[in-house]
Amino acid sequence: MTAYPGLDLLSTAVLLLDESLQVTYANPAAETLFAQGRTHLVGIPFDRALPGNDEFVERLARAIDSETGFNDNDLLLEVEGYPAHLHCVISPIEAAGEARLVLEFRELEQQLKIARETKILEQQQANRELIRNLAHEIKNPLGGIRGAAQLLERELSDPGHREFTQVIVKETDRLQSLMNRLLTPSRLPRVEALNVHEVIERVRTLLLAEFPRELTIRRDYDTSLPDLEGDKEQLIQAILNVARNAAQAAGRRGEVRLVTRIARQVTIARRRFRHAIAVCIEDDGPGVPADLADRIFYPLVSGREGGTGLGLSLAQSYVSQHHGLIEFDSVPGRTRFTILLPLRERTQ
Ligand SMILES: Nc1ncnc2c1ncn2[C@@H]1O[C@H](COP(=O)(O)OP(=O)(O)OP(=O)(O)O)[C@@H](O)[C@H]1O
Ligand SMILES: [Mg+2]
């Protein structure tokens, strides 16, 4: 392998590829970014070193054929099953041994992303507090209204008027159950060691029961994942809420994929974790509506007919009780929600 000492010092990740898209060189920044040792990158075709990026590989092949490079300010690459947002500059080169293409990558505004997540989490905390207080205040008088309507019903001489008291009872019941849902995430997690696949399999069973015959669920699990410390019921509920949205978005004959991977060097709300479990829920539906994208984790935000807009807000609060985070990226035909659950470091 040719050595390029100058490139070793760069903070930008650099890969060199030969004519057949095989990696001939990777600098240390590339090893860090792609979480692989140099020996796992060099000498390996790019599509095997970083599988799951077929579209990008096609763009690389075109760049070699046409001898024209390209830039991408918003590149989404799959790195070990986990999405990485990157800025890249791809340039063809001549006369540099066997190398034909230089690939430069930078992580996209890592700092900005961290700050944004922290802000989102803080804002959500404040929102939840407000909504909980409000829900309490609304819930209290509901019992009185319902009781009074029932008393009134007994006094009514004209049975035709019962229809109206029954509307009052039915609507207070509906409000009551909405308020109960708003008030649920108050209990502290009951933590135990658990296998994330058991949790996901449970979700799969529930989903298949809810969407019989119309939904395909594919699984791609990394079975070597270690156990997780967590609250089983809360995690089932969190993943179910996300997966249910995916199933609803996928619609008839749609497909939902459940994927698990290990994620490395994850920062959530300024805390850095060496490892986290990434649970990805993907669907082939129309994607998250652009005008909602910034707000879908807020309570009562819904783009779905008949939706209460609580599913994701509850899921996010369960996951943040586990020091984790839910994020998503979405284009029509491919939406992926990633639930990151940090692993406690084992002391050896
Ligand atoms: N996989 C997805 N594809 C497209 N849009 C989605 C997806 N997941 C969520 N959304 C959008 O985000 C909105 C908020 O989701 P959330 O689960 O919080 O509420 P909801 O599904 O509308 O109601 P609820 O879950 O309380 O019954 C959805 O209404 C939908 O517009
Ligand atoms: Mg939902």
- Closest atom of ligand 1 to 313 CA is 18
pLDDT tops 50 at residue 242: yes
Supply angle C-alpha 297, 302, 308, rounded to 5. 100
The residue behind tokens 């900005």 is 112
Task: Kindly report the average pLDDT of the chain as a whole number.
Answer: 86
- Measured from the CB, is residue 250 less than 6 Å from ligand 1? no
Is the confidence at residue 2, as pLDDT, over 70?
A: no
Q: Is the torsion defined by CA of 19, 22, 26, 31 positive or negative? A: positive
Contact 196, 279 (CB under 8 A): yes
Whether the model clears a pTM of 0.85, i.e. scores above it, the answer is no
- pLDDT score, position 8: 76
Q: What's residue 95's pLDDT?
A: 62
CB neighbours of residue 126 within 10 Å: 10
pLDDT (tens digit, 9 = 90+) per residue, 245-302? Answer: 999 999 888 999 999 999 988 888 777 788 899 999 999 999 999 999 888 988 788 9
Q: Is the CB of 245 under 6 A from ligand 1?
A: yes
Q: How confident is the model at residue 149, as a pLDDT?
A: 93
Q: What is the pLDDT of residues 110-156, one digit of tens each?
A: 545 555 667 777 777 777 778 878 888 888 889 899 999 999 999 98
Res. 347 pLDDT band, cuts 50 70 90:
very low
Taking the C-alpha atoms of residue 209 and residue 247, their distance in angstroms, rounded to an integer, is: 12
Per-residue pLDDT averaged across 185-191, rounded? 73
Question: What does the pLDDT average to over 185-205?
Answer: 88
Nearest ligand, measured from the Cα of 181: 1
